[in-house]
Amino acid sequence: MYEFRFGGETLKRPAPDASDAQWADYRYLKVNKAGTEHEWWFHRLGCRRWFRAERDTVENRVLKTEWPG
């Protein structure tokens, strides 16, 4: 049982008239780039809220967290 649940990367939403391929990428693509990633996390054993985190994927270090909105 993990305290936090990974909610995926916060990708930029495609335009409404984007192609099916672009929407598929948006939904399923895993970027896995080396460097800073923006991700959603859910604090399941704590306040049970979603928050955004900026994480360095090379050092696996959280740089910053913020509440949405």
Contacts with Zn ion by CB under 5 A lie at: 43, 46-47
Residue-by-residue DSSP string for 10-28:
-PPPPPTT--HHHHHHHHH
Judged by beta carbon, residue 13 or residue 48, the one nearer Zn ion is 48
Judged by beta carbon, residue 58 or residue 63, the one nearer Zn ion is 63
Token pair recorded at residue 42 = 């859910």
Query: What's the min distance (Å) between Cβ of 14 and Zn ion?
Result: 30
Report how far residue 20's alpha carbon sits from residue 28's, in angstroms, rounded to the nearest whole number.
12
Judged by beta carbon, residue 38 or residue 43, the one nearer Zn ion is 43
